[in-house]
Structure 1
Amino acid sequence: MALWALAGILLYNDPDTIDGICLEELTMLEIADDAEAADLALDDLGWVNRDATADDVVELRRHLQMRNGIRGLEVFTPDQVERVRDVFYRDGFVVVSDVLNADQLAFLREGVDREIHEIAKRDRYRVGNRGSHRYSFGGASRTGHQMHNLEWAMLIDLPTVTPILTALFDSADYISRGGGGDFCLPGAKEYQGLHSDMGDRKEFGAVTAGSFRDPRGLLTYRDLPCPYICCNFLTVDVNEINGATRQIPGTQHSHEPIPTLDTEPEWMKLSAVCPAPAGSVLIRDVRAWHGGTPNVSDHVRAIPNAEFYAPWFREPMPRSMPRRVYDTLSEHGKKVCRYIVAENHLVTGYRDDLGTGARNVRKKKRDGHETS
Structure 2
Amino acid sequence: MSKPPHLTDDPNALSTPLDELGWVNVEPNAADVVELREYLRANNGIRGLEILTPDQVDEATRVFYRDGFVVVRDVLSDDQLAFIRGGCDEVIHEILSRDANRFGNRGSHRYSFGGSSLTGHLVHRPEWSMLVDLPSVTPILTSIFGSANYISRGGGGDFCLPGAKEYQALHADMSDRREYTPPGSTHLYTFGSFHDPRGKLNYRDLPCPYVCCNFLMVDFTAFNGATRQIPGTQHSQQPIPDLNEEPEWMKLSAVCPAPAGSVLIRDVRAWHGGTPNLSDEVRAIPNAEFYAPWFREPMRHSMPYAIFDALSEHGKDVCRFIVADSNEEVKTGYRDDIGSVRPQSKRG
Does the TM-score normalized on the shorter chain lie above 0.5? yes
SS at match of 1:62: helix
SS of aligned partner of 1:306: strand
Alignment equivalent of 2:330, drawn from 321, 346, 354: 346
One-letter amino acid of the structure 2 residue matched with residue 220 of structure 1: N
The amino acid that maps onto 2:283 is R
Identify unmatched segments of 5+ residues in structure 1. 2-27, 363-372
Q: Is the 8 A contact 1:209 1:316 kept in 2?
A: no
Amino acid at match of 2:224: N
- TM-fit CA distance, 1:319: 1.2
Deviation readout 1:46-97 (Å, 9 max, x if unpaired): 0011110100000010000000000010100000001000000000000000
Q: 1:314 to 1:160 in 2, by over 3 A?
A: same
Counterpart of 1:198 in structure 2 is: 174
Normalised to the residue count of structure 2, the TM-score between the two structures is 0.94
The answer to whether structure 1 residue 263 and structure 2 residue 239 are counterparts is no
Structure 1 residue aligned with 2:267, among 271, 280, 285? 285
User: Paired residue for 1:8?
Assistant: none
- Pairwise CA distance, 1:203: 3.3
Give the letter for the 2:67 counterpart: D
1:109 aligns with 2:91: no
279-288 or 317-326: which moved more? 317-326
8 Å CA contact 1:138–1:180 kept in 2: the answer is yes
Residue correspondence of structure 1 range 176-195 to structure 2 within 5 A: 176-195=152-171
Could you tell me which residue of structure 2 aligns to residue 10 of structure 1?
A: none
Q: Which residue of 2 aligns with 1:35?
A: 11
Following superposition, the deviation at residue 212 of structure 1 comes to: 1.3
Q: 2:101: which partner in 1?
A: 125
Report what 2:212 is aligned to.
Answer: 230
Tell me if structure 2 keeps the 8 A contact 1:92–1:251: yes
Q: Given the superposition, is the C-alpha separation of residues 303 and 128 from structure 1 closer, same or farther in structure 2, using an over 3 Å criterion? A: same
The separation in 1 between residues aligned to 2:343 and 2:295, in whole angstroms, is 29
Distance 1:29 1:293, change over 3 A: farther
CA distance in 2, matches of 1:203, 1:73: 38
Deviation of 1:209 (Å):
3.0
Matching residue within 33, 52, 63 for 1:76: 52
Task: Render the CA deviation track for 1:5-44: whole Å, top value 9, x for unaligned.
Answer: xxxxxxxxxxxxxxxxxxxxxxx97111102101110000
Summarize the alignment of residues 128-139 of structure 1 with structure 2, pairs less than 5 Å apart: 128-139=104-115
Query: Which stretch has the larger CA shift, 232-241 or 317-326?
Result: 317-326
SS at match of 1:239: coil
Counterpart-to-counterpart distance in 2, 1:361 and 1:311: 28
Residue 316 of structure 1: aligned partner: 298
Distance 2:95 2:250 in 1: 30
**Partner amino acid for 1:102?**
D
Q: Could you tell me whether the CA contact under 8 Å between 1:48 and 1:187 is conserved in 2?
A: yes
Residue 202 of structure 1 and its aligned partner are, at CA, apart by: 2.1
Residue 356 (structure 1) aligned with residue 332 (structure 2): no
Residues of 1 paired with 2:196 and 2:344: CA distance? 33
Q: What is the distance in 2 between the residues matched to 1:360 and 1:258?
A: 17
- Distance (whole Å) between structure 2 residues aligned to residue 360 and residue 290 of structure 1: 19
| Aligned-residue offset at 1:213 | 0.9
Q: 1:313 to 1:359 in 2, by over 3 A?
A: closer
Amino acid at match of 1:161: V
Q: Percent identity?
A: 70
Q: Does 1:157 align with 2:139?
A: no
Alpha-carbon deviation of 1:208? 3.6
Q: How many residues align?
A: 336
Establish whether residue 304 from structure 1 lines up as the match of residue 286 from structure 2. Answer: yes
Secondary structure at the residue paired with 1:94?
strand
1:251 and 2:227 correspond: no
